[in-house]
């Protein structure tokens, strides 16, 4: 195999109670990449469509992630990468992670899979760091592993995949404005009150227990964010109305997707998710910003060959 085409899915990070540690993988929304082996060593990005991103390897998230895996594997060949972006940069649904994850997954496949999917998360995280200014795996891990992922620890990286309860659906409202992850991180405080940390720990534990036991009510009441949302919500026009509309329409919970500006909701059943999507979009009509809506099952597979 010398050339492959890959689907790199979008993801939702944080999920209210798991800043930088929780994420899930979406279905149907994602980038495409074509990766080819070359006789000449090194990484070359030959084409990018759908976004104005640098072709220089060291300045591109996919290029940096590709260099991380190649520098470790040290293969006797090089790689050319084509990136076809469908996920807009600065959308809050893992645009940079999709590129980083696609690059390392594709190269690993072309090398005959020397690394496990879990090991690929570490390489992809190096690319993600270029986009956000810090290494975090809560988008790259679900993109590579599928389902829900929990980063139990970063040093060393310890990622746990959790299968989604079968009736869970995600709704995403994506306002067509760009919010850079680095800007969205800049508004966060350096220290957090102990009482908020206790609330967040309880919710994170409750959320994970809810996933393992398919307890939808427990998942719902754990979807609270007392640490990040109060600081970031002011960066997202119409956030509070859209969140309240989702909850009033029967969502289990709702909040900021990743670093924003996308707003997500989790719902029990596709029917409920469609109803929630309708309510969220109705709440957004008067904001004066174009937006996309997505309703998606949780994607258990992650990045894949097309």
Q: Is 128 a catalytic residue?
A: yes
Paired sense of beta strands 253-256 and 263-268, if any: antiparallel
Q: Compare residues 19 and 284 and give the one whose CB is closer to ligand HSE.
A: 19
Q: How far is the CB of 70 from ligand HSE (least distance, A)?
A: 24
Q: How far is the CB of 142 from ligand HSE (least distance, A)?
A: 11
Query: Which residues on neighbouring strands pair with residue 7, listed in sequence order?
Result: 32, 304
Q: How far is the CB of 19 from ligand HSE (least distance, A)?
A: 6
Show the tokens assigned to 216: 């939808």
Which residues, 6+ apart, have CB-to-CB distance to 187 below 8 Å?
231, 232, 234, 235
In this structure, how many other beta carbons lie within 10 angstroms of the beta carbon of residue 186? 10
Select from 194, 208, 195, 115 the least CA-distant residue to 160. Answer: 208
Catalytic residue among 181, 229, 240, 301: 181
Q: Compare residues 90 and 206 and give the one whose CB is closer to ligand HSE.
A: 90
> Three-state DSSP class for 149?
strand
**Rounded Cα distance, 140 and 120, in Å:** 9
Q: Compare residues 139 and 164 and give the one whose CB is closer to ligand HSE.
A: 139
Rg (C-alpha) for the chain, rounded Å, is 19
Q: Compare residues 19 and 207 and give the one whose CB is closer to ligand HSE.
A: 19
Q: Compare residues 34 and 253 and give the one whose CB is closer to ligand HSE.
A: 253
Q: Compare residues 220 and 258 and give the one whose CB is closer to ligand HSE.
A: 258
Catalytic residue among 11, 128, 149, 229: 128
Q: In which residue are the tokens 């005959």 written?
A: 112
Q: How far is the CB of 139 from ligand HSE (least distance, A)?
A: 5
Backbone angles phi, psi at 247, to 5 degrees: -65, -40
Q: How far is the CB of 188 from ligand HSE (least distance, A)?
A: 8
Q: Residue numbers of the site for ligand HSE (CB under 6 A)?
A: 13-14, 19-20, 132, 136, 138-139, 181, 184-185, 258-259
Q: How far is the CB of 196 from ligand HSE (least distance, A)?
A: 16
Show the tokens assigned to 49: 């469509």
Select from 24, 31, 302, 284 the least CA-distant residue to 169. Answer: 24
**Rounded Cα distance, 253 and 17, in Å:** 11
* Torsion angle of C-alpha atoms 295, 118, 32, 48, degrees rounded to 10: 120
Q: In which residue are the tokens 């690929």 written?
A: 120
Q: In which residue are the tokens 């409202």 written?
A: 173
Q: Compare residues 114 and 230 and give the one whose CB is closer to ligand HSE.
A: 230
Q: How far is the CB of 132 from ligand HSE (least distance, A)?
A: 5
CA 221, 225, 227, 231 torsion-angle sign: negative
Q: Is 72 a catalytic residue?
A: no
Active site members: 128, 181
């Amino acid at each position: 195999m010398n050339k492959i085409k890959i689907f790199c899915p979008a993801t939702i990070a944080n999920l209210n109670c798991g800043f930088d540690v929780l994420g899930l993988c979406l279905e149907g929304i994602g980038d495409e990449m074509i990766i080819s082996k070359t006789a000449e060593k090194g990484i070359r990005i030959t084409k990018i469509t759908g976004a104005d991103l640098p072709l220089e390897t060291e300045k591109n998230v996919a290029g940096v992630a590709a260099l991380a895996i190649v520098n470790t594997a040290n293969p006797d060949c090089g790689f050319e990468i084509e990136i076809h972006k469908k996920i807009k940069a600065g959308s809050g649904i893992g645009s940079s992670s999709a590129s980083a994850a696609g690059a390392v997954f594709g190269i690993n496949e072309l090398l005959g899979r020397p690394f496990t999917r879990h090991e690929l998360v570490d390489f992809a995280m190096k690319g993600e760091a270029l986009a956000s200014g810090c290494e975090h795996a809560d988008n790259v891990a679900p993109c590579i592993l599928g389902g829900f992922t929990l980063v139990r620890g970063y040093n060393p990286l310890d990622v746990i995949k959790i299968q989604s309860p079968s009736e869970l659906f995600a709704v995403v409202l994506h306002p067509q404005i760009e919010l850079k992850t680095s800007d969205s991180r800049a508004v966060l405080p350096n220290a957090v009150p102990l009482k908020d940390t206790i609330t967040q720990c309880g919710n994170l534990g409750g959320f994970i227990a809810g996933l393992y036991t398919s307890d939808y009510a427990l998942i719902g009441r754990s979807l609270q964010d007392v640490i990040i949302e109060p600081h970031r919500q002011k960066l997202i026009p119409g956030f509070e109305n859209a969140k309240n509309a989702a909850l009033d329409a029967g969502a289990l919970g709702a909040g900021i997707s990743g670093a924003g500006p996308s707003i997500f909701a989790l719902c029990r059943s596709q029917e409920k998710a469609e109803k929630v999507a309708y309510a969220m979009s109705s709440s957004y009509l008067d904001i004066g910003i174009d937006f996309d809506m997505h309703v998606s099952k949780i994607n258990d597979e992650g990045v894949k060959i097309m």
